[in-house]
Amino acid sequence: MKIARLVYAVLLVVIAVPVGADQSRDTLYQIATIDSLMSGLYDGFISVDQLSKHGDFGLGTFDKLNGEMVVIDGTVYQVTSDGLARKADTAVTTPFAAVTFFDKDKVTTIQEEMTLPTLQEYLDSLLPSKNFFYAIRIDGTFKRVKTRSVPSQSKPYPLLVDVAAKQPTFELLDVKGTIVALRCPYFVKGVNVPGYHMHFITADRSRGGHMLDCTIISGDVSLDITPEFNLLLPNDESFYQTDFQTGSGDLKKVEQGN
């Protein structure tokens, strides 16, 4: 009888939680973990077409680490190692990506020049809490944007920190474009990038990549609070056998290029 009462109480709690029709849109849907990518697990296992069913905004990479992924307005772009962006083939797979359906919860404007550290501090000031996931879109005018993208890798795959040490970088000057960003809470270390992970694409959707640095002049900021998280892990021998306890390099060097 005690067990029955306990189950009944739990059911009451669940039923009492209001569930909106669009609750699933507030989910960050992630393919694999950042630690798996750091460890050199670059074989894609979910297609762009399948990924697109779970979100219209986000970022990631492609099979064999072949370029940077930018997902915006429901279109998946592939920025290859020449810094050029093109619509991704829907059959191409990804070993790591995170997407959500973008719905604006907060909108504001940037009306003064900001460097990347200042921009991130400003974004932090907009957050109701640092303990949620956020999708952030910034459409703006930039004095300078520094991006990177990496070429396709061959087996045996090197660690991501070694790939990033030789990454092609690009300087975009006086450009209009969009920052596609995720901000993850610090307790997801190993699963995703704690703090900000930013990709960039120009307004004409011709260039972009993983954003290393920028100076923004003005822009419109849209914030999507995303309290739900869904993780899909690779179901293959490489993932089974990887020892994530040993570590696989410095994530800060990979993300910030230093």
Centroid of chain to Cα 119: 18
pTM of the predicted structure, to 2 decimals:
0.88
Tokens 């993932």 locate to 239
Position 158 scores a pLDDT of: 95
**pLDDT band for position 95 (cuts 50, 70, 90):** very high
pLDDT, tens only, 136-193: 999 999 999 999 999 999 999 999 999 988 989 999 999 999 999 999 999 999 999 9
CA atoms of 60 and 67, how far apart (whole Å): 9
pLDDT digits (tens, 9 = 90+) for 99-143: 999 999 999 999 999 999 999 999 999 999 999 999 999 999 999
In which element (H, E) is residue 240 found?
Answer: helix 237-241
For residue 147, the cross-strand partners are 170, 211
| Measured distance CA(230)–CA(98) in Å, rounded | 9
Work out the angle at residue 152's Cα, subtended by the Cα atoms of residues 148 and 154, and round it to the nearest 5 degrees.
135
Nearest to 159 by CA among 54, 38, 70: 38
160 conformational bin, left if phi > 0, alpha if psi -120 to 50, beta if neither = alpha
Mean residue pLDDT of the chain comes to 89
Domains of the chain, start order: 24-256 (3.30.1330.80)
Residue-level pLDDT at 248:
57
